[in-house]
Structure 1
C-alpha cells in the first residue's frame, strides 16, 4: 500500500477502528467525573440525566474536529497554535492546561488511593504514591502499540458501573423520563450542576489528547497527513467519526448510569451531599450491598489508571509542541527525554498535591473552573484552524460539522460565564 494512502477501515477489525476516540471518551469518566456524576444523582435524583444526553452531540462535534485537525495536519493542537497564532495565546493556554491537569491528577490519584484503602484497609498515601509511580512506568516504558492496546482494553472497566446500576433497585420509568425529558430550575443549585456536568464532559485535556493520538496513529501506521492526500481520506474520516461517536457515547452512557445508580440509592435514602467519588462508594455499601460497593470502588481505581496517563500525556504533548521538543509515546524514552520528563513531573506533582492540606473537592472545583475558562478560547481557535484552508487544505471541515463545533463553543462560553457570575 502506498505510504500516503490511509488504510481502509473496512478491512480493519472493530478494535482497530476504535482507538483514540474510545480511549478519550473513557478517560473522561475519571474519578473526578465519577464524583461529579455521583453528586448530581444524589442531589437531584432522576431529574438531571438529560444533561448528559444534551452534552453528547456537543462532545462529538468538538472531539471529532480536534481529531480531524490532528489527522489532517499531522500536528497536535499546540503545534498548530504555535504555527498560526500569537505565541502569547499559546503560552497562556498551555500554562492553564498544566495547572488544571495537575489539579485533576492530584484529585484522581488521591481518589484511587482512597478507593484502594476502602477495599484493602490501610493508609491512603502509600497507595496514592504507588498508583502514580505505576502510571509513570506504564506510560514511559511500554511501547506505544502495546500501551494503546492496554488503554483500549482498560475501557472495559467502565462496565463495572453497569453492574452497579443492576444492583441498585432503579425506578426505571422515572430514570428513563429524567433522561429524555429535560427538567430544570434556574436556581444556583441547578445551574451549578449543569455547569459541573458540561465542564466535566467537555475538557481541554481531551482536545489535546485525541488530536495528538491521531498523529501517533499516523506514525504507527506509516501514513501521511490527510491534507497531503485528501482524495484518499474518506476511510480515515469515516473511522474518526465512528471512533468518536462510539467513544463519546460510551462515556456519556456510563455517566448516565452513575447518575441513575446514585439517584436510586443515595438520593432515595436522603443522602444529597457527596464530597467525593470515594464517599459515594462508601455510602453505597449499606444501601446496595457489598458487591455494588466493591464494583464502584474498583471502577474508581480502573478509570483512574486510564485517565491519569491521558491527563499527564496531554500536558506533555502540549509542552513538547510548544518548545519544539521531540514528542510522542511511539518514541523510546531516550529519543524524547523532555517529553517523558513532563509526563513524570506532572504525575509526581499530582501525587505531591496529596501531601498538602488541600480539600480534594476544592481541587476538583478549581480544576473544573480552569477547564471551563480554558475550553471556550481553545475551542474558538480550534474552530478557526479547522475552517482555515491555508492550514487544512481540502480537509477544512464542512459547514455542518462547523455548525456543531460553533454551537459547542457557544454553550461552553455560556458555561464559563456562569462559572464567573454564580
Structure 2
C-alpha cells in the first residue's frame, strides 16, 4: 500500500515545484555588480544601510509581479507587448537605452568573476578566466535546451547560501543588526545619498523586468499540459516572485552585514571592486569566509550573465519578429543566438579597451537609473489596461507600490544626475 504523504509536506513540495522564473530573476539580481555595491555599503557605512532591504522588498515584489503577470496573460515579453499595443517610439527608446546598460553590466560581471578567480588561482591570469567563463556561458546557452538552462539556473541559486553562512562564522552583533534594520539612521551626506541611489539602481534593474515577463511566458509555453490562466496560477506566480525577491534581499542584507561587521569595524572602508572585498575579508575573517565570499561571486556571475544576455536577446527577437527561444537549435534561431554571442563578446571586449569595471558599473547605474522610471510607468499602464490584461488588471496595492517605486526611481535618477554633474 502506498504511503500517504503528509498534507504539510505536500504543501511544501508544491511550493518548491512552483519556484522557477521568479526565483531565478530575484537571485540573478545579486550579480557581481550588485555584490560590489553591497560590499561598498557595508565597508563604508557599517550596518547603516540595512534598512533599505526592507523598504525595497515590497517595491521589487510589486514591479516584478506585474511583469510576471504580463507575461502570463499575454504569452509575450514586455517588448512584444509594447510593440503590439503602444507607439513604436516607446519601444525604441527602451531598447536603445537598455542595450548599452546591459552590455556594460555583462562586462563588469565577467571582469569581477575573472578577478576573483585570479585571487583563488593566482598563477592563472584574470583574462584567461574571463575568456573561459565567456566561452562556457556562450556554449551552454546555445546547446542546452530551455528546460535544462532553467533547471541549471534554478539550482545555481543554491550558491547564494554562501553569503548566509559568513556572518555566522564571524563575531556578529545581531542586536546592532536588528536596530539598524528597524530603527534606521539616515545621513544626508553626499556619499550616503549616492549609496542609496546606487541601491535602487542595483536592486530595481530594468533588465529584470524583461527577463521576468519573457520567462513567465516561456514557462507556461513549456508546460506539458495546457495551462489555464486563472487566480490560482497568478497566485503561484506571485509566490514564486516573492520567494525570489526575498532571497535577493536576504543575500543583500547578509553581504552588508558581513562587510560591515568585518571591514567597517576594522577601518577598511574603501572598497571599489568585488576582488577587493574578498581580499580584505581574508586576513580579518579567515580563509573560510574568504573562500565562501569568492565562490559566491563566481556562482552569482554564472547565474546573472545568462539572464542579462538572454533578456537582451529576447528583447531584440520580439522587436524584429525573429524566431526566439532557448529550446530552439542555433540553426533555427540564428539572429536570436547571435545577440547572445554578440552581447557576451562585446561585454568581454569592454574589459580590454580601457573601460574599467568601476567605470562600467557607474555608466550602468546611470543608464538603469534613467530607464527604470520610464519602464515602471509603462508597466503600470499595461497592468491597468483592460484591453491587454482583461480582468487581471492591477489591484489597489499593486498601483500604490508601483507608484512609490516610480517616484523613488525618478527621485533617484534626478539625484544621480545632480550629484555627478552639479556638485
| TM-based fold match above 0.5 | yes
- Cα 1:90/1:224, change in 2 over 3 Å: farther
Unmatched segments (≥5 aa) in structure 2: 1-9
Per-residue deviation, 1:411? 1.2
- Cα 1:217/1:298, change in 2 over 3 Å: same
Find the aligned partners of 2:254 and 2:405 in 1 and give their Cα distance: 23
CA RMSD for the aligned pairs?
1.5
- The 3-state SS of whatever aligns with 1:47 is coil
Pick one of 129, 141, 158 that aligns with 1:156: 158
Alignment correspondent of 2:4: none
Are the aligned partners of 2:29 and 2:208 in contact in 1 as well (CA < 8 Å)? yes
Alignment correspondent of 2:30: 29
Alignment correspondent of 1:110: 111
Pick one of 273, 283, 286 that aligns with 1:289: 286
Alignment correspondent of 2:128: 126
Find the aligned partners of 1:76 and 1:136 in 2 and give their Cα distance: 22
Are the aligned partners of 2:76 and 2:214 in contact in 1 as well (CA < 8 Å)? yes
Alignment correspondent of 1:64: 65
- The 3-state SS of whatever aligns with 1:365 is helix
User: Deviations for 1:175-216, whole angstroms, at most 9, x for unmatched residues?
Assistant: 111112221112211110100111100000000001000011
1:160-239 paired onto structure 2 within 5 Å: 160-221=162-223, 233-239=230-236
Alignment correspondent of 1:252: 249
Per-residue deviation, 1:224? 6.5
Per-residue deviation, 1:337? 1.4
Find the aligned partners of 1:223 and 1:394 in 2 and give their Cα distance: 23
- The 3-state SS of whatever aligns with 1:352 is helix
Alignment correspondent of 1:92: 93
Find the aligned partners of 1:93 and 1:186 in 2 and give their Cα distance: 32
1:274-285 paired onto structure 2 within 5 Å: 274-285=271-282
Matched, 1:341 2:338: yes
- The 3-state SS of whatever aligns with 1:29 is coil
Are the aligned partners of 1:220 and 1:330 in contact in 2 as well (CA < 8 Å)? no
Per-residue deviation, 1:166? 1.5
4+ residue runs of structure 1 moved beyond 6 angstroms?
9-12
Are the aligned partners of 2:67 and 2:212 in contact in 1 as well (CA < 8 Å)? yes
Find the aligned partners of 2:383 and 2:271 in 1 and give their Cα distance: 40
Per-residue deviation, 1:408? 1.2
Are the aligned partners of 1:125 and 1:354 in contact in 2 as well (CA < 8 Å)? no
Per-residue deviation, 1:406? 1.6
Unmatched segments (≥5 aa) in structure 1: 1-8
- Cα 1:45/1:10, change in 2 over 3 Å: closer
Q: TM-score, normalised by structure 2?
A: 0.94
Pick one of 134, 137, 141 that aligns with 1:135: 137
Alignment correspondent of 1:350: 347
Find the aligned partners of 1:350 and 1:159 in 2 and give their Cα distance: 27
Are the aligned partners of 2:144 and 2:327 in contact in 1 as well (CA < 8 Å)? no
Q: Which moved more, 1:363-372 or 1:179-188?
A: 179-188
